Structure 1
Amino acid sequence: MAVYFNEISMHSIKGRPSYHDITDEIKKKIEESSITNGCIVITSAHTTCSLYFDECMHDRNFWGDEYLQVDINEAMEKIAPTMKTENQYHSPGPEHIKFGLSLGTKEYPSEKWTMLNTDAHIRSSIFGSPSLTFIVKDKKIQMGSLGKVYFVDWDQLRERDRTIQVMIMGEQVVL
Structure 2
Amino acid sequence: MTVYIEELIVRSNGNRASYHEITKEVRAVIEKSKVKNGICVITTPHTTCSVIYEEYSHDTNYCGDEYLQVDFNNVLEKIVPRCLTEGQYYHPGPEHVAFGEKDCDAALVPDRRSLLNTEAHIKASLVGESVTSAIENGVLQINQVTGYYYFIDWDPNRPRDRQCKIVVMGE
Q: TM-score range by the shorter chain?
A: over 0.9
CA distance in 2, matches of 1:115, 1:108: 10
Instruction: Give the stretch that moved more between structures: 135-144 or 153-162.
Output: 135-144
> 1:137 is matched with which residue?
136
CA distance in 1, matches of 2:33, 2:170: 10
Structure 1 gap ranges (5+): none
Instruction: Give the stretch that moved more between structures: 102-111 or 26-35.
Output: 102-111
Q: Post-superposition shift, 1:110?
A: 3.3
CA distance in 2, matches of 1:66, 1:152: 13
> 1:30 is matched with which residue?
30
Paired residues for 1:95-114 under 5 Å: 95-105=95-105, 107-108=107-108, 110-114=110-114
Q: Superposition RMSD on alpha carbons, in Å?
A: 1.3
Instruction: Give the stretch that moved more between structures: 131-140 or 63-72.
Output: 131-140
> 2:42 is matched with which residue?
42
- SS in structure 1 of the partner of residue 143 of structure 2: coil
User: Paired residues, what number?
Assistant: 170
Decide whether the 8 Å contact of 1:53 with 1:150 is kept in 2.
yes
The residue identity in structure 2 corresponding to 1:17 is A
> 1:124 is matched with which residue?
124
Q: Post-superposition shift, 1:107?
A: 4.8
1:124–1:112 Cα change, 3 Å: same
Decide whether the 8 Å contact of 1:104 with 1:110 is kept in 2.
no
Partner deviation per Cα, 1:24-48 (whole Å, 9 max, x = no partner): 1100101111211111111111101
Structure 2 gap ranges (5+): none
CA distance in 2, matches of 1:90, 1:48: 17
Decide whether the 8 Å contact of 1:103 with 1:110 is kept in 2.
no
CA distance in 1, matches of 2:116, 2:7: 28
Decide whether the 8 Å contact of 1:44 with 1:130 is kept in 2.
yes
Which ranges of 4 or more aligned residues in structure 1 deviate by more than 4 Å?
Answer: 106-109
State the identity %.
Answer: 45
> 1:152 is matched with which residue?
152
CA distance in 1, matches of 2:106, 2:92: 23
> 2:53 is matched with which residue?
53
